[in-house]
Each structure stands twice: as C-alpha cells, then as structure tokens.
Amino acid sequence: MIRIAVLVAVAGTAVPLAGGWSTKISGAPSAQFNGVWKLRFAADGSYVISKAGQRLVLGKATFKGATVTFRDTSGPASCIGMEAIGSYRWTLTGSTLLLKPMREPCAGRRFVLARTFARIKNLPPA
C-alpha cells in the first residue's frame, strides 16, 4: 500500500503539464499550419499533438525541472531520425503555457510548439 502511494506521487510530479492545451495559428507561411492545435500530455508522459480532430504526432515527453523533452514516436506529421527529439523550456502562468525551444532540430514541431497555449478544461486523456 505504501509502495503504491509513493508510485502515484512520483507519477503525479513527473508530468507537471498533464492535461490538454490549445493554440491557434493563423497567417502561417504554409496553410497546413493554420488552425487550432491541441497538445495533450498523459500522466505517463505520452503526448498527442492534433489538429481538427486528427492525431498528427504521438510521442513520449520527459520533464526535468522547467525543461520538457519531446520524443516523437509515430504519426503522419512526426519528426523522425535526428529530428525526433526536441527540448523546450516551459513556463506556466495561471492557465497559460509558454514553450520556448532550447534544442529543436524539427522545423515543423518548432513552428507549432514554440508559442503560447491555453489550458483546455475537461479534455479526455491523451
């Protein structure tokens, strides 16, 4: 019983941004980027990046302090090879999340994530 409680506590602190986030992009150089994007983190660190209800990127995130590292694993818009991993500094103010790239070789992921997101209330798990 104590072991389970400790594991739950560790899992709860491992993903400080668990839940859903959204941002709207307009006026992008490529129209494919325009629209509302959603980023969902599950309690185990898995994430989904979607647009218009379509899951475009799935992956696993790790958190260390105010740094989140994204590792894309699948999806039609996932970054592959040397571009699969990117790190961001995150800041949370109220229900607003700001992601700033630290090391990001994937231009598409950078374009979508390097901005401000609003927390989505009542979003189902990723």
Q: What was the pLDDT predicted at 13? A: 43
Q: What was the pLDDT predicted at 124? A: 58
- Strand, coil or helix: 12: helix
86, burial (CB in 10 Å: exposed 0-12, middle 13-18, buried 19+): buried
Whole-angstrom CA distances from 47 to 27, 44, 59 are: 26, 9, 5
**Paired residues of 40 in beta bridges:** 20, 48
At the topology level, CATH places domain 2-120 in Lipocalin (2.40.128)
Global confidence as pTM:
0.85
Each residue's pLDDT, cut to its tens digit, for the chain (126 residues) gives 333 323 333 333 468 899 999 999 999 999 999 999 999 999 999 999 999 999 999 999 999 999 999 999 999 999 999 999 999 999 999 999 999 999 999 999 999 999 999 999 876 555
Structure tokens at 105: 């070789």
118, burial (CB in 10 Å: exposed 0-12, middle 13-18, buried 19+): middle
Q: What was the pLDDT predicted at 123? A: 63
Domain ranges of the chain: 2-120
Among residues 103, 53, 100, 52, the alpha carbon closest in space to that of 79 is found at 103
Dist CA 55 CA 41 (whole Å) = 13
Q: What was the pLDDT predicted at 122? A: 74
Contact (Cβ atoms closer than 8 angstroms) between residue 41 and residue 15: yes
